Structure 1
Amino acid sequence: MIARCLPHPWLSLTLLLVWLLLVNDFSAGQWLLGALLGVLIPLLSRVLWINPPRTRQPWRLLPFFLRVLGDIVIANLQVSRRILGSMDDLQPAFVEVPLEVHDELALTLLTSIVSLTPGTVSADLSDDRRRLLLHCLNVQDSAALVAEIKARYEAPLLEVFPCSA
């Protein structure tokens, strides 16, 4: 019965919390409205969820997202320093990252994270979804960049999402 009313309980909880933060009001009425939205939106969008995401150890996402937020802040500072400095020092390049991630949600998260980190943007995903083409503002060593992306972002996603080919 609960699975029928809450097909995606984490989504419902997230919608409730986002609603409360958006309205910046924690009154009982807003809790009730947020809970109603948290139940209705997943129920109404249930037909759009072709393959609901499966996770292993979802609690590992919290430290991962905290790392991503830290990386975004640090990358903002680095990009600002490089842009305000000499433009001759920049070495823009396209870099191809081979992927082990195959889950759709994990791929979406990985490409979004790379694009959210200043200085890099996901330019293309190969048709077989095994290579991600990135445009980077400043590349000193492309192999080191690929290794860093795989270690910092792809490896934690592989731990959380079952990504068998």
Structure 2
Amino acid sequence: MLKRLFPHPWLTIVLLVCWVLLMNDLSPGNLLLGFVLGTAIAFSVGEGLWLSPVHFGKPWLLVRLFVYVLYDIVVANVEVALLVLGPTRRLRPAFIEVPLDSTHEIALTALISIVSLSPGTLCAELSDDRSRLCVHVLDLADEAALVALIKSRYEAPLMEIFAC
């Protein structure tokens, strides 16, 4: 019965908090309006908009991946700074295609974010069938090595973390 009235209680609470923060008012009327709006929005959201549930296969691997990503971002910042401050004729920009093994929405979102956060690389497109990722690289020395690095250093751990 309660699930029918409040199909997504956490969404209702988050929307209520956002409403109160936006309105900057804790009056009872404003709280009631925020609750009604949050409930109405949560009730009207269809099940097709929700992502599949996240199941962590190896959560400790997330810490290791986080350290790798931070290290790679620092190293890439130095490399990009040296490239940008040097002669521009040394730059070898290119687009590369990275074949993907993962189809999990969260794993793909994390992979795209990681690649885009690293200076010198930017995800330009995810194919419609989610089998390829088009990445723009500021300075490409070896395409096969970069594809292997993205797959082994980022995609493989993400597939283990999200059990896909």
- Give yes or no for TM over 0.5: yes
1:151 aligns with 2:160: no
The residue aligned with 1:81 is 82
Q: Which runs of 4+ in 1 moved over 4 A?
A: none
Larger radius of gyration: 2
Q: Which amino acid aligns with 1:139?
A: L
How big is the shift at 1:49?
Answer: 4.0
Counterpart CA distance in 2 for 1:111 and 1:81 is 25
Question: Unpaired segments of 5 or more residues in structure 2?
Answer: 1-8, 11-40
1:51 aligns with 2:57: no
Question: Unpaired segments of 5 or more residues in structure 1?
Answer: 1-5, 8-43
Alignment of 1:130-141 (within 5 A): 130-141=131-142
The residue aligned with 2:100 is 99
Deviations along 1:68-121, one digit per CA (max 9) or x if unpaired, are 011101100000001001100000000000000110000000000000000000
Identity of aligned residues (%): 55
The residue aligned with 1:32 is none
How big is the shift at 1:162?
Answer: 2.4
1:121 aligns with 2:118: no
Report the aligned-residue RMSD: 2.4
Q: Which amino acid aligns with 1:66?
A: V
How big is the shift at 1:140?
Answer: 0.8
Q: Which amino acid aligns with 1:72?
A: I
